Chain A
Amino acid sequence: MITFLIRTCLFKLITLVIISIVSFLIIHLAPGEPSQIDPLNPRFQKEDLERYRKTFNLDKPLHIQYFLFYKKFFSGKLRSFKDNQSVFPKIWERFMNSLPLFIVGTILTWGLAFPLGVSSSLKQDSLVDKSTTFCSYLLISMPSFFLAYLLIIGTVHFLETPVLGMQTFGQENSSFFFKLNDRIWHLVLPSLLGATAGIAVLSRYVRAQMLEVMNQDFTQTAHSKGLSQERVYYIHVLRNAALPFVTMFGLILPSLIGGSVIIESIFAWPGMGRMAFEAILTRDYPIILSLNFISAVLVVIGTFISDILLVTVDPRIRL
């Protein structure tokens, strides 16, 4: 076990170094420069452009830029090109904005996908099963931005409530209870939209897993032992069917930092996804690379957690 841990850690560290190099190269070799350096601005002299490049260290060879960048990254001195703010507090602020969206979205995904998947597997080929299948494919194939527009226009026209942003404007003086509910309301649409694709896909998986396990010998045995239907399905089948999903838990972690570019942009939600997107547009290298590196770290940790989880849940697997 301990050798396994040491070995994995070592491998993952090497992976991270390689990721850091590759992502650094991709960003810097891609055409374009930070938006502060604008060669088509008639007001800018050549010397001005050089001055910018020099301050951003862009005039140095790539390998030196790489070391300078990660030196600043690990000493926490990294600052955004765009507004000179420290990168980590900036990311943290956005992270805290995206977090409620992520939590509610995840709860909705997992909370709704399981009942849906289980029920349609239990009533295979029934009307319930067919309609959930239809809805799932509809949701999977419909672009989320389109659905978002439909929902926003619908809510604005029929419910006449604000839906954009994190809270209603000008409600700073109302009581805590109102404020709380106001914030929850603003969470509903974006988190629901964020969850739709997840619910659709995940419920399909649950259904397929359930059906697979249902056809296995031990289910037959349970049935023939005379156990009640519910006991067989909810204790024996569901537990075994849920095994692969345990590993998925670890993989949710990286999506924490990714946020959702489309949903956050449409709903004017000041979250991580939007920050990353805008950073890419203005070629704000410190932000892009930091987010990239942090999410790489999260992926590595996530896969590690899934490995461990799988071992603990499934006694058949040995390291």
Chain B
Amino acid sequence: MILKRILLIVPLAIVLLLLQSYFWVPKFDEQFMGSSKRLTQFIQGSIGDAQILNPILHSDSSSGAITDKIFDGLIDRDRDLSYRGRLAKSWKIIEEAFFVPNTKDRSAEDVARKLQNAKNNSSIPWLDNISKIEVVPPKISKTSNESSRGKTWTKVHYPKRIKLTLRAVDQDLFDKIKTTFSQKLIEDDFSSFSTKENKKKIKLTEHNPIIIFELRGDVKFHDGHEFDAKDVLFTYQSIMNDKNLSPRKSDFEPIKSMEILEENKIKIIYKRLYSPAFGTWAIGILPEHLLNEKTLKREAKERKLDRKNFTLRLSNFNRNPIGTGPFKFKEWRSDELIKLKKNEQYWDGPPNYSEFIYRIIPDSLTQEMAFYTGTIDSYGAGVHQVNRLKKDRRFQVFSGLSFGYTYIGYNMRRKPFNDVRVRRALGMAINTEQIHRYILNNQAENITGPFIKQGPHYNKVIKPIAFDPKKAIKLLNEAGWEKRNGILVKNGKRLRFKLLTNHGNEIRKSIATVVQDSWKRIGIVVSFDTVEWAVFIKKHINELNFDAVILGWSLGLDPDLYQIWHSSQTNKGQLNFVGYKNRTADQLIVKIRQEYDLKKQILYAHKLHRIIATDQPYTFLYNSKWTALLDRKIAILQKPENGTHIAKKITATKTGSYSFDFNKWIKFPTAPIFESKF
């Protein structure tokens, strides 16, 4: 019977054909031993693919990891978190300050002369800081303001103003002038425009911080074109161009203007004091010659696309990027891999690895399998995965604190959370030790305030609130809550509220259970609920409709806390959703973002940290740790001038970045003996 035979033979043949392929596939050992090329490749496993390989357009971590290798910024942070020059050789931060002089009984020139005399005849440091005093002729400034009612134009005729050039930024300059001179030199108010709105628009005093970057002259893009100040200007203009939809725009909004002084020197003038602005120059610099309007138009024409609506975002550049970084782009196979090769001409010396491969494996267990067998060198290992492989001699383990913390936030607009004693008591009732040990596998540390723990702004003197349920009850008694039948009652009302968090985060859910139990023990009725993330944000956080929530912040290095803690940010949809308001804190927050002197900034930050720790708008729960695994065969290879090679162990920096020296890494055929010369 033919049909019967077909039914038997066909499946058999297919199965055999499929299985025979096994004999042609290289075993792991063969891939590894057979080609030494594998030793010069670094393969990073990643859960998700990159989206857009453009440093000013991406908003996902995968794209960030790749663009960091392809592009260089003007500056970055060194091992100790201080700024260090990359594409910029050096920099200078000065200030130009303007004020409208009080000309009731003297002219602007008189005021300038008075200041100059005072400067010449005294050695007060802030006067010494002034390098030049000028009188600026009157000018007309036009500003537009868009609101729901339409565009409004404001035209201001400024009289003669005094311009002071300072050697270093001084945010208290005008206050100092006011207090030093007995006569009123600065015009505080013009009677002719006394409405509040006008006062906001028209500044009688103005701080203009200025950064002057001196750029390296020896840097070339991957296509051989020379890097210069034009590229920096172009990168800024591209970010500010609304058509490009750059998620970095608000970082660069404080810039007033930019000016190319020389081929390798650029001057950036800021509208106002905003110290975090300096750090934003770590952004990757784009090549102007490949992306300027003319080239984009040409590309649109070649690809037969609408030339009018063709923007940087649509350019093929974003899938074939060209930068100045240590690695050049080679290949991108969507959801499979991104391949980079080393830039032999890199100004800081070429990396040791000849290829960097970003391999996308969307599942963490299979990532572990791939890592285990050596087909990837590194992946974002979970705590349980690290524990599993920690004792294996083939691997090395890294761990450090992550940037950010998890907290319980209280809606301070609602009773009883408006009482600091209640908030403190709630924090005291929670045994954070227990949470660290049983929920987080000890992969966490205490945190007491709003700054990142690794940075200098964190006030290490402040002790965390100790676990003490008895004292908690005492505090609540002070606040008027009395225990009746085991439940705290005030004016006939029971102390009850709802704890919320987002659905799908098992750790937060477990924490909620522990917290709920701890609070129940001291007589508080707490219900708990989880809500899907999008609904949680839209209906509860943005609408300010919650009692207490468990959430986390991931933070950057700069100490600017304006959006999270300033009292102006407490409206619907803003980030100070707990409604924290403290005037001293507000002043300090503003001072911190305006201060360019690190020492002073740290001083303010420590004060602010103490205020927030005392007010306890959040119960700060923990600062989690990250862990990473690496093959023990990977180490730092140093090549000093005399031709010997030294292998060094990879160590994490203060901030916990173990890949800081990545360009010097290499994989050895066997685990190296450290500090030996060969």
Q: Nearest-CB distance from A49 to chain B (Å)?
A: 9
Q: Does A244 contact B (CB under 8 A)?
A: no
Q: Nearest-CB distance from A66 to chain B (Å)?
A: 21
A267 lies within 8 A of B366 (CB): yes
Mask of B503-544 contacts with A, CB within 8 angstroms, 1/0: 000000000000000000000000000001111011001100
A188 lies within 8 A of B21 (CB): yes
**Segment with Cβ contacts to B, from A132-140, A214-222, A227-235, A311-319:** A227-235
How far is B532's CA from A79's CA once the two chains are assembled, in angstroms? 28
A52 lies within 8 A of B18 (CB): no
B41 lies within 8 A of A170 (CB): yes
Say which residue of B3, B25, B247, B366 sits within 8 Å of A185 (CB atoms): B25
Q: Does B369 contact A (CB under 8 A)?
A: yes
Which residues 110-168 in A have Cβ within 8 Å of B in the complex?
111-112, 114-115, 118, 149, 152-153, 156, 159-162, 164-166, 168
Mask of B330-342 contacts with A, CB within 8 angstroms, 1/0: 0001111000000
How far is B22's CA from A164's CA once the two chains are assembled, in angstroms? 14
Q: Does B124 contact A (CB under 8 A)?
A: no
Q: Nearest-CB distance from B274 to chain A (Å)?
A: 13
Q: Does B196 contact A (CB under 8 A)?
A: no
For A234, the chain B residues whose CB sits under 8 A away are 1, 3-4
For B573, the chain A residues whose CB sits under 8 A away are 39, 46
A278 lies within 8 A of B247 (CB): no
B314 lies within 8 A of A84 (CB): yes
B249 lies within 8 A of A83 (CB): no
Mask of B12-49 contacts with A, CB within 8 angstroms, 1/0: 00110111111111111101000101100101000011
Nearest A residue (CB) for B569 = A42
B532 lies within 8 A of A55 (CB): no
Q: Nearest-CB distance from B35 to chain A (Å)?
A: 7
Say which residue of B247, B373, B532 sits within 8 Å of A31 (CB atoms): B532
B250 lies within 8 A of A169 (CB): no
Best-surrounded residue of A41, A79, A169, A185 (most CB of chain B within 10 A): A169
Q: Nearest-CB distance from A75 to chain B (Å)?
A: 11
Q: Nearest-CB distance from A94 to chain B (Å)?
A: 8
Q: Does B318 contact A (CB under 8 A)?
A: yes
B38 lies within 8 A of A170 (CB): yes
For B60, the chain A residues whose CB sits under 8 A away are 35
A274 lies within 8 A of B362 (CB): yes
For B336, the chain A residues whose CB sits under 8 A away are 165-166, 268, 270
Nearest B residue (CB) for A84 = B313
How far is B248's CA from A124's CA once the two chains are assembled, in angstroms? 70
**Segment with Cβ contacts to B, from A16-24, A176-184, A300-308:** A176-184
B1 lies within 8 A of A231 (CB): yes
Of the four ranges (under 10, 10 to 19, 20 to 34, 35 or more), the interface on chain A belongs to 35 or more
Q: Nearest-CB distance from B675 to chain A (Å)?
A: 32
A187 lies within 8 A of B242 (CB): no
For B542, the chain A residues whose CB sits under 8 A away are 39
B21 lies within 8 A of A156 (CB): no
Q: Tell whether A42 pairs with B575 under 8 Å between CB atoms, given A82-B51, A84-B52, A270-B336.
A: yes
A238 lies within 8 A of B3 (CB): yes
For A162, the chain B residues whose CB sits under 8 A away are 25-26, 28, 31, 370, 373, 375
How far is B597's CA from A15's CA once the two chains are assembled, in angstroms? 67
Say which residue of A45, A181, A231 sits within 8 Å of B250 (CB atoms): A45
Q: Does A43 contact B (CB under 8 A)?
A: yes
Nearest B residue (CB) for A145 = B363
How far is B534's CA from A33's CA once the two chains are assembled, in angstroms? 8
A48 lies within 8 A of B22 (CB): no
A161 lies within 8 A of B51 (CB): no
A188 lies within 8 A of B18 (CB): yes
For A168, the chain B residues whose CB sits under 8 A away are 25-26, 31
Q: Does B177 contact A (CB under 8 A)?
A: no
Say which residue of A45, A90, A170, A181 sits within 8 Å of B25 (CB atoms): A181
Q: Does A68 contact B (CB under 8 A)?
A: no
Q: Does B251 contact A (CB under 8 A)?
A: yes
Q: Tell whether A159 pairs with B38 under 8 Å between CB atoms, given A164-B370, A230-B4, A270-B333.
A: no
For A108, the chain B residues whose CB sits under 8 A away are 11, 14-15
For B359, the chain A residues whose CB sits under 8 A away are 165, 169, 268
Best-surrounded residue of A44, A83, A162 (most CB of chain B within 10 A): A83
Q: Does A265 contact B (CB under 8 A)?
A: yes
Say which residue of B59, B334, B365, B534 sits within 8 Å of A93 (CB atoms): B334
Best-surrounded residue of B14, B20, B318, B335 (most CB of chain A within 10 A): B335
Q: Does A193 contact B (CB under 8 A)?
A: no
Which residues 59-96 in A have Cβ within 8 Å of B in the complex?
79, 82-84, 90, 93-94
Q: Does B429 contact A (CB under 8 A)?
A: no
Q: Nearest-CB distance from B590 to chain A (Å)?
A: 16
Which residues 354-374 in B have Cβ within 8 Å of A in the complex?
357, 359-363, 365-366, 369-370, 372-373
Q: Nearest-CB distance from A159 to chain B (Å)?
A: 7
Q: Does B461 contact A (CB under 8 A)?
A: no
Q: Nearest-CB distance from A161 to chain B (Å)?
A: 5
Q: Does A6 contact B (CB under 8 A)?
A: no
B366 lies within 8 A of A268 (CB): yes
A188 lies within 8 A of B19 (CB): yes
For A55, the chain B residues whose CB sits under 8 A away are 245
Say which residue of B20, B25, B357 sits within 8 Å of A161 (CB atoms): B25
Nearest A residue (CB) for B20 = A181
Q: Tell whether A152 pairs with B369 under 8 Å between CB atoms, given A33-B534, A162-B25, A268-B363.
A: yes
For A171, the chain B residues whose CB sits under 8 A away are 26
For A115, the chain B residues whose CB sits under 8 A away are 7-8, 11
B21 lies within 8 A of A181 (CB): yes
Q: Does B564 contact A (CB under 8 A)?
A: yes
Q: Does B10 contact A (CB under 8 A)?
A: yes
For A149, the chain B residues whose CB sits under 8 A away are 365-366
A42 lies within 8 A of B8 (CB): no
Nearest B residue (CB) for A148 = B366
A31 lies within 8 A of B535 (CB): yes
Q: Does B563 contact A (CB under 8 A)?
A: yes
For A83, the chain B residues whose CB sits under 8 A away are 51-52, 318
For B3, the chain A residues whose CB sits under 8 A away are 234-235, 238
B537 lies within 8 A of A160 (CB): no
Say which residue of A33, A104, A114, A268 sits within 8 Å of B7 (CB atoms): A114
Residues of B within 8 A of A (CB): 1, 3-4, 7-8, 10-11, 14-15, 17-29, 31, 35, 37-38, 41, 43, 48-49, 51-52, 59-60, 242, 245, 247-251, 253, 313-314, 318, 333-336, 357, 359-363, 365-366, 369-370, 372-373, 375, 532-535, 537-538, 541-542, 553, 563-564, 573, 575
- Given A161-B28, A177-B24, 19 further pairs, Cβ under 8 A: A31-B538, A32-B533, A40-B575, A42-B575, A94-B335, A107-B14, A153-B369, A160-B27, A160-B373, A164-B375, A168-B26, A168-B31, A169-B375, A181-B25, A238-B3, A267-B366, A270-B360, A274-B335, A278-B49
Residue contacts A-B, CB under 8 angstroms, 17 given: A45-B250, A46-B573, A90-B334, A108-B15, A111-B14, A152-B369, A161-B22, A164-B361, A164-B370, A166-B336, A168-B31, A169-B359, A181-B24, A185-B25, A270-B335, A270-B360, A278-B49
Going nearest first, the 5 A-B pairs with the smallest beta carbon separation are A32-B534, A270-B335, A181-B24, A31-B534, A185-B21
